[in-house]
Amino acid sequence: MKKLLSVVLALAMILCMIPALCATTYLTISDKSYNIKIWTYGNASEYATASSANSITFEYEYDDDYAVETGKWSDERVMALVQVSGFAFADFDPDEDTIYIDSKELTVASSAAYYGEIGAVADGTIVFPVELTEAGYTDSYSIKVVTTDANSVETTEKANITVKLVNTADEAKADKTAYISGIAVNSNYDDATAYIVGSKIYVDYVDEKKDVVLDITFADENKSAFTVITYANGVDVDGFTLTKKNSSSPYFTALFDDEDEYTRLSGSKGYYLFQPWVYDGDDIEFTLETEAYNYTVNKDYTVVARTNIHEADPKGVYLTSSAVTISVGQTYVPEMKSVSTGDVLVPTSVLIYDDTNTKLMSDIVDYANDSDDTYTLIGVKPGVAYIKCYYSKNYAVASDSFHYSTSTQKVTVVSESAASAVTTTTYTVSCRNLNVRKGPGTSYAKTGMVHRGETVEVVSVSDGWALLSDGTYVCYKYLTK
């Protein structure tokens, strides 16, 4: 009896093991990152990619020309295909395995233009469609891929992918009105003035017409200075265009004719338009662009260029600092301004004397009159000298002539070893590109450029300009400690 009972128990154990040997093994995978690509169907050159990510931003220009049959709607739609790679499956069997998007099985009508490109397209890679719209939108997709391999291992892999769709086409943005809040001839040009009367931009030249640069300040629909990233988007003057930079810069740039020269401008004083020349009679329409809006200046302007109109009397000139210290071999440019307007002026002459203004001291400090008519001073040997800048204009009519001189500026020249003992402070450049200039102002010639993340050694700061250890200057507000 005991022997029979043992056999029965053994058979029972064997029978219990058979289902276990034949059962499917289940595996769930989640919390992974994937390689994502998205592109406009029919326009493969318009695409975006993201590696080891769970989200992607796709910027596109909405165009009805790319509308295609989808099989789901009565009219055609502009579509994008989203490719997600990195799933664990291989040898996907469409008869046995399934892809779900937001809990619904991924299917596509056979009449859809992209039929055959949807689903599992390669080992570990799936593709599904999304609609592109004029407004753009952000959506998250819950993806579930269920597969069973030859060893009866059923794998369920879950992924959450967020897609941000941004239409960058101009027509997708709301239109607003902008205004011109100020205009002036850039201080690099001292033989012309500019102002607005009604819908006319007057540019008055001291002598004949020349290439000039206009600084134009724009204001938003509330007539306030722009506080968002702003681009100049277009000006309809032959030979001159404004081009977008990139969204990391709160400035716009101007491209002068076909030259590969960009000018970076300060946003704190407004947004400036750089114009390489002004021709009499040109009609100009100004348009600006932010991330959300297109702006058109409230009126078109006609340029009126007039010649042989004498510049305004500066009513005296002055130097912005009374004393400087430089080392032997170091250069600097004295900054002279108009008493009445505050404009930076280029001296017509510079004299270097002792403290009694009787003995020439060019053995201590010398200067070179640069090609741009800027006087660059250089320390020759240790000592002290005094400089005085002069500004003169002579016209055929005597009453239109004026002559001014500044007060003296003390220039102390120290040896290079003494200069090395001067304490400097290290600053980091906070903007993308920062011009290095010969003197403390935008009127001075550029000597180079430093970039975001680079460091500079600052000796002193005055009137918003930082004097660097090599004698050059940069705008202080773009430096951080």
Report the pLDDT value the prediction gives residue 373, as an integer from 0 to 100.
60
| pLDDT(182) > 80 | no
Q: Which of 108-112, 230-234, 243-247, 296-300 has the lowest mean pLDDT?
A: 243-247
The mean pLDDT of 154-158, rounded to a whole number, is 93
Q: 249-304: per-residue pLDDT in tens?
A: 333 333 222 222 223 333 323 334 445 455 577 777 776 666 567 777 888 888 88
Q: Give the CATH number of domain 317-420.
A: 2.60.40.1080
Q: Which of 9-13, 85-89, 436-440 has the lowest mean pLDDT?
A: 9-13
Chain-centroid distance of CA 66 in Å reads 30
192 against 298, higher pLDDT: 298
- The CATH topology of domain 173-306 is Immunoglobulin-like (2.60.40)
Q: Give the CATH number of domain 425-480.
A: 2.30.30.40
Q: pLDDT category, 372, cuts 50, 70, 90?
A: low
Cβ contacts of residue 286 below 8 Å, gap of 6+? Answer: 178, 180, 216, 218, 232, 235, 273, 296, 297, 301
The mean pLDDT of 147-169, rounded to a whole number, is 90
Beta bridge pairs of residue 122: 125
| pLDDT(47) > 90 | yes
Please state the three-class secondary structure of 453-467 as a single string.
Answer: CCEEEEEEEECCEEE
The mean pLDDT of 105-132, rounded to a whole number, is 92
Q: Tell me the C-alpha distance between 56 and 38, whole Å.
A: 8
173-306 and 425-480 share one fold: no
Strands 365-369, 375-379: pairing kind = antiparallel
Quickly list DSSP for 95-144.
TT-EEEETTEE----TTSTTTTSSEEEETTEEEEEEE--SS-EEEEEEEE
Mean residue pLDDT of the chain comes to: 77
408 against 183, higher pLDDT: 408
Report the pLDDT value the prediction gives residue 442, as an integer from 0 to 100.
77
Q: Tell me the C-alpha distance between 439 and 429, whole Å.
A: 18
68 against 395, higher pLDDT: 68
Q: Are 365 and 352 in contact (CB under 8 A)?
A: yes
- Which tokens go with 241? 């265009």
Ramachandran category for residue 91: left, alpha or beta (phi over 0 → left; psi -120 to 50 → alpha)? left
61 against 37, higher pLDDT: 37
Q: Tell me the C-alpha distance between 317 and 190, whole Å.
A: 14
Q: Which of 58, 126, 115 is nearest to 89 (CA)?
A: 126
| pLDDT(34) > 50 | yes
Q: Tell me the C-alpha distance between 400 and 396, whole Å.
A: 8
Cβ contacts of residue 31 below 8 Å, gap of 6+? Answer: none
The domain locations on the chain are 27-171, 173-306, 317-420, 425-480
- Which tokens go with 190? 């001292």
